[in-house]
Amino acid sequence: MVRLDKFLSDCQKGTRSQVKNWIRGGQVKVNGSIEKDPGRKIGEDCDEVLLREEICRKRGFAYYMLNKPAGVVSATEDHLTDTVLAFFKDTLDRELFPVGRLDKDTTGLLLITNDGALAHRLLSPKRHVDKVYEVRIRKALTEDEIHRLESGVDIGEEKPTMPARVVVSGGAASDGKVIQMTIHEGKFHQIKRMLFAVDNEVTGLKRIAFGPVKLEDNLKEGAYRELTKEEVTALRQAAGLENASENT
């Protein structure tokens, strides 16, 4: 048994305070009768709950990996251009959203879910969840510039960035102009601003990992797949939710 207001909130109909107001306002029915007590206990599998005559069912969470192409925005809606949710038109899962943002011209791994608690934790700088990028730059970095990036740089905000990790990609083809950068924050244009702070320029940017989840090599741009149970568990552990139940 579960409280009526919690059930509606878990159905993602609104916040607990919102649904309490709707219940008290007579907008909710339980088994055909108006119910105005937010604390009314209901059986999730045996009682019928309607909000404004629409039946409410608790849904499980959905978790996807998208290989984002350039030219689409990381948002749920945009009046000018396609969003990443355009790739999910044929799924049965609704109320999906991207976990954080990738710039319009940035490609690579974007997590898509309807699990707000997990997304909030993954994006919190306090959790120190790694985000790894393959970065193409205008010129090779010096040792001093790498040290500055790994110590934190001034990008014009109140505080310097948190320390990054920088690895120069091997191979003669890269000529030192391809690096991997790992950051824990998600500031606006952060990688580009960090490189600009050491007198460099990003010419290509692709996210290849988010915490324990790595972009699948054979996943084409614009394609997506569901995360495995192991990947979801690893993300929940990275977010400090390892004791929470998995509802995949």
The one catalytic residue among 78, 93, 103, 130? 103
Structure tokens, 55 = 């039946």
Q: How far apart are CA 95 and CA 165, in angstroms?
A: 34
**In the 8-state DSSP scheme, what is residue 20?**
H
Verify whether residue 103 is a known catalytic residue.
yes
Q: How far apart are CA 34 and CA 22, in angstroms?
A: 11
Query: Residue 238 CB: number of other CB atoms within 10 A?
Result: 20
Find, among 62, 60, 57, the residue nearest to 8 by Cα.
Answer: 57
Q: How far apart are CA 175 and CA 203, in angstroms?
A: 14
Q: How far apart are CA 164 and CA 186, in angstroms?
A: 12
Judged by DSSP in three states, 128 sits in: coil
Amino acid 234 reads: A
Question: Which are the catalytic amino acids?
Answer: 103
